[in-house]
C-alpha cells in the first residue's frame, strides 16, 4: 500500500494503517513551522524514532515515491500552545492566513514529489500536563479554535479537490472533547480512532486507484 503520513506525534495513529517506515514523525512539527519553512524545511527535518530519543539519519523524503497518497497531520500543537492567546488578543479566530500558507506548502510538496495529498482533521483539544508544550488559554476556547481550524482545512481541501479526512465527529463527545474509547492517552487518538479512520482512508485509496486495505 502506498500510504505515507507526515506530521507531529499524532501521525503515529497511521502506524496502524500503513507500514511503520512510511510514517514520518517530524517531532513537534507545527502547522506554523511548515507554513514558514516550506518544503526546504520539511526536507531538512529529521524523523523522531521515539519521544526524547534518537533521530533517524535517513532521507525520509526520498522514500516517498510518485503516485503515493500522503496524509498530513499537523495543527494540534498550534492550538494547544500558540493560537489561543493570539485569538484572545485578536478578539476572535485569526488563523486562516496560517492555514492558507500551510496548504500552499502542501501544494508545493505535491508538485515536487508527484504525490496525492490528504489532510487529517485535528484531534479534539484536551487539557494535558506537558511542561514543554503546555496548554495555553481556556479549554472551551481551544476547542472552538480546533473547530475553526478544521473548517478552514476542509474548505481549503475542497477548493483544491484534495482529500480531507474528517475524523473529528467520530472521535468527539458532545462537548467536543475526545471520546474515551477513541483515546490512546490524554492527547493522542488510539486504536478505536484508527478503526474509524480506516474507511475514510480506504475511500481515498480506492478513488486514487491505489487499492484498499484492511486494518492491521
Tens of pLDDT along 37-78?
Answer: 999 999 999 999 988 778 999 999 999 999 999 999 999 999
CA distance 126 to 184: 13
Number of domains in the chain: 1
Residue 15 inside a domain? The answer is yes
Residue 81 inside a domain? The answer is yes
Residue whose entry in the numeric block shows the C-alpha cell 499524532:
10
pLDDT of residue 43: 97
**With bands split at pLDDT 50, 70 and 90, how would you rate the model's confidence at 213?**
very low
Task: Write the CATH number for 73.
Answer: 3.40.50.1110
Residue 195 inside a domain? The answer is yes
Tens of pLDDT along 97-146?
Answer: 999 999 999 999 999 999 999 999 999 999 988 888 999 999 999 999 99
Residue 31 inside a domain? The answer is yes
The three cell numbers of residue 119 are 489532510
Q: Which residues contact 145 (CB under 8 A, 6 or more apart)?
A: 79, 83, 84, 87, 93, 95, 125
**With bands split at pLDDT 50, 70 and 90, how would you rate the model's confidence at 214?**
very low
What number of CA atoms fall less than 13 Å from residue 148's CA on the CB side? 20
Tens of pLDDT along 145-179?
Answer: 999 999 999 999 999 999 999 999 999 999 999 99
Residue 216 inside a domain? The answer is no
Residue 214 inside a domain? The answer is no
Domain that holds residue 79: 3-207
Residue 22 inside a domain? The answer is yes
CA distance 162 to 107: 10
Residue 18 inside a domain? The answer is yes
Residue 71 CB neighbours (<10 A): 27
Amino acid at each position: 500500500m502506498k500510504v505515507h503520513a507526515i506530521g507531529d506525534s499524532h501521525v503515529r495513529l497511521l502506524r496502524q494503517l500503513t507500514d511503520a517506515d512510511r510514517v514520518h514523525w517530524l517531532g513537534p512539527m507545527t502547522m506554523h513551522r511548515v507554513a514558514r519553512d516550506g518544503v526546504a524545511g520539511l526536507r531538512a527535518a529529521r524523523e523522531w524514532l521515539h519521544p526524547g530519543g534518537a533521530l533517524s539519519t535517513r532521507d525520509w523524503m526520498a522514500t516517498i515515491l510518485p503516485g503515493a497518497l500522503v496524509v498530513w497531520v499537523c495543527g494540534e500543537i498550534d492550538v494547544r500552545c500558540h493560537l489561543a492567546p493570539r485569538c484572545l488578543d485578536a478578539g476572535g479566530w485569526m488563523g486562516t492566513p496560517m492555514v492558507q500558507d500551510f496548504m500552499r506548502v502542501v501544494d508545493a510538496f505535491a508538485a515536487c514529489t508527484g504525490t496525492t495529498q490528504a489532510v487529517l482533521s485535528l484531534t479534539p483539544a484536551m487539557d494535558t500536563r506537558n511542561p514543554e508544550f503546555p496548554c495555553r488559554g481556556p479549554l472551551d476556547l481551544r476547542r472552538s479554535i480546533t473547530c475553526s481550524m478544521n473548517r478552514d482545512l476542509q474548505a481549503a481541501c475542497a477548493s483544491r479537490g484534495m482529500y480531507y479526512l474528517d475524523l473529528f465527529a467520530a472521535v468527539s463527545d458532545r462537548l467536543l472533547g475526545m471520546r474515551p474509547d477513541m483515546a490512546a492517552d490524554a492527547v493522542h487518538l488510539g486504536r478505536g480512532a484508527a478503526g474509524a479512520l480506516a474507511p475514510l482512508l480506504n475511500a481515498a485509496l480506492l478513488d486514487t486507484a491505489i487499492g484498499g486495505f484492511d486494518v492491521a
